[in-house]
Amino acid sequence: MDSFSELLGARHARLYDSAIQDMIELVHSSGALSFTAGEPSIDLMPEQDLRKALFKAFENARELMGYYHDSSGLVELRDWIAEWTKNEGLLPRHLNWENILLTTGSQEGLSLFTEAVIDHGDVVAVENPSYPEAFLAFAKEGASIEAVPIDDEGPSTEALENLASRGHVKFFYTIPCFQNPSGSVTSLERRKEILELAKHYNFLILEDDPYRNLWFEEAPPTSYISLHENDGRVIYLGSFSKVVAPGIRCGWIAAPEWIFKTLHRLRVATTLNLPAILHLGLLEFLQSGGFTGHLEQLRKAYRARRDGLVEALHKHFNKSEFRFEIPKGGFFLWGEAPGLKDSDSFVKFAIQNEGVGVIAGKTFSPYPAKANEGAIRLSFAKVSPEEADEGCKRLKRALSKYMNLTQEGARTNE
Ligand SMILES: Cc1ncc(COP(=O)(O)O)c(C=O)c1O
C-alpha cells in the first residue's frame, strides 16, 4: 500500500495536521473542561429562529435543492450582505452584490484567495501571533510565511516595512478586530499607515474579520476595505460562523472586480456550487428582524463570559504566575505564564492530570521554534463564569504541579 503514497503530488509534503483541531479532539475524548474552542456555544445560537427560517426556505423554494444558477452563491443573500456592510460603513459604496462571493466560511475564503494570488515561494506577511489554519492555507500553496509582531496599536509598521523593503511581499494577512489569538484591535491610524505601506511596496491586504461584531465596550474602527485610501488592493473576508452558527458554513469574500472572476473560477473548480437552500434559510433568519437583537445579546453574553474568566484568573493567579491583557471583544484571552518553559507539553499535562484544556501559544506562531514558551490562549466563548472559576482552579493546580515536576527534573539532571 505504501508504494501508492509515492504517487501523491508534491503538495502533500506541505500539508500538516492542525494543532488546534488535535487539541480540541483530545479535550473532547478526555471530557476535560475546555478553554480551547473558538466557537460559539450551542445555547447562544439562534436555534429556534434558524429552524423556522430553514423550514420556510424548504417550504417556499424547493427548487433551490437543485444546483443554483450562480456558483458565487444566492444573489439575494449576497445583496443583503452588501447592503448590510455598506450601511455599517464597512464596504465601499461602489462595491455591490456582484462583488460578494459566498464561501463555506472564511476558511474557504482564505484558501481561494491564496490559490488566486500565490505562486510557490511567494512571501505572505502575517501578524505574530496569528490564526494557524490560515498558515495551513498559505503553506498549501507553497508560500513562505514571514512574521510581523503586534504592539498596542496593531501590527508593527516598522517590521512590515522592513520585510516589504527587503523583497516582494505578495500580501499581508491581518485580523484587525479582536484578533485570534491575541484579542488585539488595530487602531484606525495604524490601518491607514499599513495601507500606505501596501501602496508604496505594492502588496495586497487580506482582511479577515470574523469577530468584528463581538465588541464589548465600543465598536472597532472601520474596515481596511472601506478606507478611502484603499485603491482596490484589499480583499475582505466575513463570516456568519461566530455570530450565527459555524455548522451552517457560510461566509463571504468582498472582492474588487480585478480578482472576482478568478475567485469564481476557483470556486467552480473546487466546490462547483453552494447550498443555496441553506443560504435562503439564513437570509430568512437575517431578514426576520431579530438579527440586530441577536448580536446585542451575543455581546452581552460574551462580555459576561469574558468578565467571568478575568475574575477567575485574578482569583487563582497572581501576576507573577500568569499575566494577560483584558480583551475588549471576540472570544480569546492571551496570556503568559512567565516561568513556563514548554507550553506544548504543559497543555497535554493539564488535560491528562487536571482535566482542563488550553492552547499553547506557540501554535499561533509562524516560527514555533522561536516562540514564547510561556504563552497560552484561553477561549471564553463556551465557558460560563462558574466553569471559568473551576477551570482556572484546575489550570493553577496543573501549572504548579508541572512547574514543580520540571524544576525537579532540571535539578536531577544537574
Ligand atoms: C481569524 C479566523 N479566520 C477564519 C476562521 C474560520 O472561520 P469559518 O471558516 O468558520 O468562517 C476562524 C475560525 O476560528 C478564525 O478565527
- pLDDT tens for 234-243 read 999 999 999 9
* pLDDT over threshold 80, residue 2: no
Q: What would the pLDDT profile of 136-164 be if each residue is shown by its tens digit?
A: 999 999 999 999 999 999 999 999 999 99
The answer on pLDDT for 410 being more than 70 is: no
Q: Hey, which of 107, 108, 112, 208 would you mutate to test ligand 1's pocket, going by the most ligand atoms within 8 Å of its Cβ?
A: 107
At 221, the amino acid letter reads: P
Predicted pLDDT at 355: 95
Which ligand 1 atom is nearest residue 107's CA?
Answer: 9
CATH 3.40.640.10, the chain: domain bounds = 66-287
Tell how far the Cα of 177 is from the centroid of ligand 1, in angstroms: 13
CA atoms of 241 and 42, how far apart (whole Å): 12
The verdict on the CB of residue 103 being under 6 Å from ligand 1 is no
DSSP calls for 253-305 = EE--HHHHHHHHHHHHHHT----HHHHHHHHHHHHTS-HHHHHHHHHHHHHHH
167 or 313, which is more confident? 313
Cβ of 105 below 6 Å from ligand 1:
yes
Of the listed ranges 38-42, 46-50, 205-209, 342-346, the least confidently predicted one is 38-42
With a 6 Å cutoff on the Cβ, whether 132 touches ligand 1 is: no
CATH among 1.10.1040.10, 3.40.50.1370, 3.40.640.10, 3.40.50.2000 for 66-287: 3.40.640.10
Pocket residue to mutate for ligand 1, from 108, 112, 131, 248, most atoms within 8 A of Cβ:
131
Q: What is the pLDDT of residues 349-399, one digit of tens each?
A: 999 999 999 999 999 999 888 888 899 999 999 999 999 999 999 999 999
Q: Please indicate whether residue 179, judged by its CB atom, sits closer than 6 Å to ligand 1.
A: no
For residue 200, the tally of other CB atoms under 10 A from its CB is 11
Minimum-distance ligand 1 atom for the alpha carbon of 109? 9
- Nearest partner of 235 among 261, 221, 255, 210, judged by Cα: 255
Assess whether pLDDT exceeds 70 at residue 86.
yes
DSSP string, 75-92: HHHHHHHHHHHHHTT-S-
Dist CA 237 CA 264 (whole Å): 15
Does the pLDDT of residue 1 top 60, yes or no? no
Cβ–Cβ < 8 Å for 281, 302: no
The per-residue pLDDT for 55 is: 95
Q: Which of these CATH numbers, 3.90.1200.10, 3.40.50.300, 3.40.50.450, 3.90.1150.10, describes 2-45+292-413?
A: 3.90.1150.10
Q: Is the CB of 193 under 6 A from ligand 1?
A: no
Residue-level pLDDT at 110: 98
Asked if residue 412 has pLDDT above 80, the reply is: no
User: By CB neighbour count within 10 A (0-12 exposed, 13-18 middle, 19+ buried), where does 6 fall?
Assistant: exposed
Domain with CATH 3.90.1150.10 in the chain: 2-45+292-413
Q: Confirm if 364 and 130 have CB atoms less than 8 A apart.
A: yes
Question: What's the chain's average pLDDT?
Answer: 94
As a whole number of angstroms, the distance between CA 182 and CA 321 comes to 19
Cell of 3: 508504494
Please state, in angstroms and rounded to a whole number, the distance separating the CA atoms of residues 149 and 172.
Answer: 13
Ligand 1 midpoint to CA 316 (Å)? 31
